[in-house]
Amino acid sequence: MRQGYTQIDFRTKKGLSDVEKRHLLIALGVLTLAFAISFSGGTAGIFSGYFPVFLLISFISVGTAFLFHELAHRKMARVYGCWAEFRMWRWGLMLALLFSLFGFVFAAPGAVMIRGYITREQNGKISAVGPATNWVVGAGFLIGAYFTLIAGLDFLSFILAFVAFVNLFIGGFNLLPLGPLDGRKIFAWSVMNYAILVALIVGTLAAGYLLGPFRGFL
């Protein structure tokens, strides 16, 4: 998710600030826990012997999906000469934990805040790069999951498929054309590009189920 402001131009500052690092780490930790609880079956899954395994796989999945998504927004905004840093949304993180107890993750951990003048097209491209990154990573891991499944490496295939699914889920969730989510800004910029991104993510999710890798947990 990304929020933008059209103000006086702010030049970029290299590296992550201490505040941004703290917000990213907290959001990463909470989302990791939320996905682990959700995919282990909700409240009951916390007390299962497999929960530590789900926690580790969730950490890898969220690390690629959430961090790559937000850093992609940040990088693109800075390409356009804007100040851009991630800030967590406390209510969103609490909702993620709450919903995970019922087997679902509300993936709205925060947003990259931007200051600087940007056009509608630039705003759309900054927004699109997050879900696009999730699709690239998700598709790559899904290919790996498919071939390891064929090779009989079921557990490795499960891990790769889990990483792929979390990336596609976070990318797809952010494409909803609602409120501060990326989908609304992409749609306002280009309906065609919005439709392409939706088709890519939905199509890849369907392929993951039809080809087998996602059937282990869907």
- Catalytic residue numbers read 70
CA atoms within 13 A on the CB side of 83: 12
**CA–CA dist 57, 32 (Å, integer):** 9
Q: 189: how many CB neighbours lie within 10 A of its CB?
A: 20
**CA–CA dist 211, 142 (Å, integer):** 10
Q: 126: how many CB neighbours lie within 10 A of its CB?
A: 29
Edge-to-edge, what's the strand order for the sheet holding 83-88? 2-3, 110-115, 83-88
Q: What is the DSSP string of 111-174?
A: EEEEES---HHHHHHHHHHHHHHHHHHHHHHHHHHHHHHHTT-HHHHHHHHHHHHHHHHHHHHH
Sign of CA dihedral 31, 209, 140, 158: positive
**CA–CA dist 54, 6 (Å, integer):** 41
